[in-house]
Structure 1
Amino acid sequence: MTPGNRLFTSDEIRPLAERSDLWGAWLVLHCWGVIAAAMALFLVWPNPLTLILAVMIIGSRQLGLAILMHEAAHNALFKSRRLNELAGDWLCGRPILADLPAYRRYHLKHHRHTQTDQDPDLVLSAPFPTTKSSLRRKILRDLTGRTGIKLRAQQLAFAFKTAFDPDIEPDDDGLSQAFAGPSLGKSLIANAVLLAVFTAIGAWWWYPVFWLLPLLTWYQLVVRIRNIAEHGAVERTSDPMRNTRTTLAGPLMRAFVAPYWVNYHLEHHLVMHMPCRNLPRLHDMLMARGAGGRMQIGRSYADVLRLASSRPEQPG
């Protein structure tokens, strides 16, 4: 029984948990369409401003692909399990160097042990709250590509180790699997296809500029913000209303930081098999029943980041 079943009847949850192949296809097409539109923006108006804007938009939609892979990991993106596996892995996960099967094993463990010592995501949330200077350093490392390069190096090192010892588990190697796949073979194929497409249209250099650059920079930042907002500076408790957070987001933040309703994370933990498109409706039901006072709700991502960097600086 999921926590949401104790708050709602099965008849209330059932229609909101209904999967749709049409919706799944639309979300995947929308994500790739926004990426293509960002590239087209630079093609029509090539200048430094549209380049930066394209990198930000593409990086946010690379997170969008990760979110849709997450949906597929819960078999919630499509009604068909086969479509969840194929599209979730090849169209969503592999292009961003993620690995759906490994991510599913890792992520379901996170749901079983949220904010306990057995939670594999605890390493992402435990450092918070931190100091303002520490958070600034993290953001700078993300935007300059240092975080992304370090993570890619970890992936390569792990892939090299498993070539000699296939029984090594990612947790044994200290590799965080939060949207980072330990197996790179299929990811290299997916990225080779992207490079081939760019080359075919006469713009091979778009691959490093409009795919790798966002993946190493803006994507890393929004993944960090997402991690902080979901479980950073929350209570270490088994209560799903207190050990995770929903963050309210306007159109601008949904476009650049929190696509595809990812900000409704508390609701996702209550009913983890519910398609993301229905999480706002579940949120409204909770609020209508007076549950808002029990819930961890961030008024904005800016407020959450202020809370996450509220630890006083050490003197000297």
Structure 2
Amino acid sequence: MQRFLSSSLVGVTLAVGVICAWIGLHVFAVWHLDAAGSPLLAVVCLIGLTWLSVGLFIVAHDAMHGAILPGRPRVNAVIGGLALLLFAGFSWRKLIVKHMAHHRHAGTDDDPDFSRGGPVAWYVAFVRTYFGWREFWVLGGSVIVYALILGPRWPYVAFWAVPSILASMQLFVFGTWLPHRPGQDAFPDRHNARSTRIHDSLSLLTCFHFGGYHHEHHLHPSVPWWRLPSTRQGGKA
């Protein structure tokens, strides 16, 4: 019981921390940063927001599996829905349905995340699967509101749209293409997934461990991102 409470506290704290960090850096970059006068700081903010945007999606992903606060689906839905809204206006209901289909049919024609084309065509199909009119109007409307409030400070657009786009590429490469692409090396089992087995620091920086431990995630989908290394080192979730 104590271990369950401790794990739940860590999960909620990390999820809220990622969301708050993204909001804080976003507000600073959009409302207070002089990108033209501080180009180096602008680049640092862009890199930070891209990584935190990846984190937003991973928080939502953990919420889909009930891993943020086990046994509390409404709490997971609220946290996950907020993370997706901040990421790119994504629909919680749409993504959870498609992600569960991915787990049931990973690496097959029934997998909404899978494509038999090359990486560019696969990425385009990946984006088209999840980015629709809802996302267009949410992001477009937000940009218009920002423009009306902030005026001709064009760089503010970059600190939401660009990190989201870069994060989608990062998520695709390390969380979808590398783990699920067909290759000469056979997949270990029916999950049609492989782990990239990079160093844990790179695994965290690239995709919050969902690249380095992707096969382990398919074996233990209810394990949150921060505990994925233990599924290999300890032999169990």
Shared fold (TM-score, shorter chain, > 0.5): yes
**Which of the pair is proportionally richer in helix?**
2
Contact 2:87 2:164 in 1 (8 A): no
Distance 1:60 1:99 in 2: 21
Distance 1:268 1:252 in 2: 17
Distance 2:26 2:233 in 1: 30
Query: 1:23–1:222: structure 2 CA closer, same or farther, 3 Å change rule?
Result: closer
Correspondences of 1:1-316 after superposition (within 5 Å)? 19-20=8-9, 21-33=12-24, 35=26, 43=34, 46-79=37-70, 80-93=72-85, 95-123=87-115, 126-127=116-117, 138=120, 151=127, 175-176=128-129, 180-182=130-132, 184=134, 188-189=137-138, 192=141, 205-216=154-165, 218-226=166-174, 227-232=176-181, 233=183, 235=186, 238-240=189-191, 243-249=193-199, 251=201, 254-255=204-205, 257-258=206-207, 260-263=208-211, 264-286=213-235
Distance 1:282 1:196 in 2: 45
Larger RCO, structure (CA 8 Å, separation 6 or more): 1
Contact 2:193 2:214 in 1 (8 A): no
Number of paired residues? 227
Distance 2:147 2:69 in 1: 29
Q: Which amino acid in the other structure matches residue 171 of structure 2?
A: V
Q: Tell me, what secondary structure is at the counterpart of 1:66?
A: helix
Contact 2:18 2:52 in 1 (8 A): no
**Residue range with higher mean Cα deviation, 272-281 or 35-44:** 35-44
Contact 2:203 2:209 in 1 (8 A): no
Contact 1:102 1:182 in 2 (8 A): no
Distance 1:247 1:42 in 2: 38
Identical pairs, percent = 20
Contact 2:49 2:159 in 1 (8 A): yes
Distance 2:34 2:197 in 1: 34
The alpha-carbon deviation at position 198 of structure 1 amounts to 8.5
Contact 1:113 1:119 in 2 (8 A): yes
Distance 1:182 1:93 in 2: 13
Contact 2:35 2:41 in 1 (8 A): no
Distance 1:284 1:192 in 2: 46
Distance 2:179 2:90 in 1: 20
The alpha-carbon deviation at position 18 of structure 1 amounts to 5.1
Contact 1:103 1:181 in 2 (8 A): no
Distance 2:55 2:193 in 1: 24
Query: 1:246–1:69: structure 2 CA closer, same or farther, 3 Å change rule?
Result: same
Distance 1:239 1:64 in 2: 28
Q: Which amino acid in the other structure matches residue 268 of structure 1?
A: H
Query: 1:99–1:183: structure 2 CA closer, same or farther, 3 Å change rule?
Result: farther
Query: 1:250–1:284: structure 2 CA closer, same or farther, 3 Å change rule?
Result: closer
The alpha-carbon deviation at position 272 of structure 1 amounts to 0.5
Query: 1:51–1:28: structure 2 CA closer, same or farther, 3 Å change rule?
Result: closer
Query: 1:280–1:16: structure 2 CA closer, same or farther, 3 Å change rule?
Result: farther
Could you tell me the TM-score, scaled by structure 2's length?
0.72
Q: Which amino acid in the other structure matches residue 279 of structure 1?
A: L
User: Which stretches in structure 2 are left out of the alignment for 5+ residues?
Assistant: none
Contact 1:196 1:204 in 2 (8 A): no
**Residue range with higher mean Cα deviation, 89-98 or 201-210:** 201-210
The alpha-carbon deviation at position 104 of structure 1 amounts to 0.8
Task: Choose 1 or 2 for highest CA Rg.
Answer: 1
Query: 1:112–1:57: structure 2 CA closer, same or farther, 3 Å change rule?
Result: same
